[in-house]
Chain A
Amino acid sequence: MNLKDKLKDITSENKSTWLEDAEKNVANQGARKNARRVALRVLHILKERGMTQQALADKMDVSRQQVTKIIKGKENFTFETIDKLEKALNITLLNVPLDEPTYDPSHLSAVIPIQGSIQVRTIIGNSFDLAQTFSLKLDIGALEKSDEFGSDLIMGRHHGHPTCVFYNQLKEHSLSTLMFNGFLLEGQELLKPSQQFKIIAKEAFERCPS
């Protein structure tokens, strides 16, 4: 008996639906990710406050099943549910800007604080010049993840949105193309206190106190 026949003998009659499932999951990745993040946030708040899921359901005036859906990341939220959740936990989940923010270097007002030793570089013409090193604190909670990154990055805020660009990319682009609103950052593994980051600093960046 060859391998094919032997495999047949031990193969179940069931059909695996994983590929269809995976296709759906990949297609819905954005929505699933948002639902998952709400779930993780709610779970953490409940844990920190010692609050039960039933208590949350009562406060939201919804069924326990709906809370289960929320913490399983399966809730397809309506504005009404978001509002109830925000009020019940006294948190903000959604803050919709009235306009799409656009790049304007004059709005790059602050370096996102970072912990650890930072090498700051200034831009002189098209070249980069090492300026100085100083300590900053980083609010990593404000950052999100990226599709592309290198080892070095610059960060800033634009219209209040966290903005960061990687040094590797900087070298290949003119300044005007560098800044992205809400540029995503895989950052948390990068942002170790002992790690050195090169910050491309423009005058508009503010230095944070050591």
Chain B
Amino acid sequence: MKIVHTFGVTNDPDEGLWALELEGKVVNEYQAIFEIWRDPEIMYEFCVENQEDLHRKFGYPIRPPDAADIMMDEADELEEMLMNLAKKKFPGTNLQQLFKPLDNNATALTELQLSKGSIKNKRIRDPKLRIYAIRIAKNAYVFTGGAIKLTNRMEERPHTQEQLVRMINVRTWLKSQGICYPEDLNALS
């Protein structure tokens, strides 16, 4: 397991996004998830296989191609937002505003915190896509993957459960590599 620097100031470990690079895989996990979300065939099949969850999440019976189309739009917006963050298009915006603690009840920023991100705006009021990362410093994250989250809890479906397990494994690995932020994150944020 390695990480690859994705964006941010390379010589400043306090700010940036690194992506997980798994052995034997051609692309890192950041690129991998967006490739999946850009693939109509994969997205369509997912929607066929998860129709009941989609109906529940959307609140009405939605056809697989329509659900796939909406979620692929969401992926495009998410990618554009990350691109804008990387290029610092809007001053004052940073990764910390995108990634929130995975635990909705968490009130403090903790070391190697499991984090989640999604896009929410006027067009996307109930996001279905999640990106996952481990917070390694004030405004720095290791991107571990992403998923279409249609249930309340990640444990409820295998594809989200897999992401949860991966995050926990990556956190353990980072710890074993001595990655821990030396200062109080809450004081810094």
Contact = CB atoms under 8 A, between A and B. Distances in A.
Contacts of A7: 3, 13, 18, 136, 179
Interface in B172-189: 174, 177-182
Contact of A11 (B5, B86, B87): B5
Contact of B80 (A14, A26, A186, A189): A26
Nearest to B180: A3
A83 B48 CA distance: 28
Contacts of B2: 10-12
Interface string A35-48: 01101110110010
A54 interface: no
A99 interface: no
Interface residues of A, number: 46
Interface in B22-77: 28, 30-31, 34, 38-41, 43-44, 48, 58-60, 62-66, 68-70, 72-73, 76
Contacts of B60: 191-193
A25 B3 contact: no
Nearest to A4: B13
Chain B binding site: helix, strand, loop or mixed by DSSP?
A: mixed
B11 A23 contact: no
Interface in A141-175: 145-149
A188 B3 contact: no
A22 interface: yes
A25 B80 CA distance: 9
B123 interface: yes
A43 B136 CA distance: 41
Contacts of B80: 22, 26
A73 B122 contact: no
Interface string B3-19: 11111000111000011
Given A19-B87, A186-B123, 13 more contacts: A6-B177, A10-B174, A14-B28, A16-B7, A16-B30, A18-B31, A22-B83, A25-B76, A26-B79, A32-B76, A33-B76, A189-B59, A189-B125
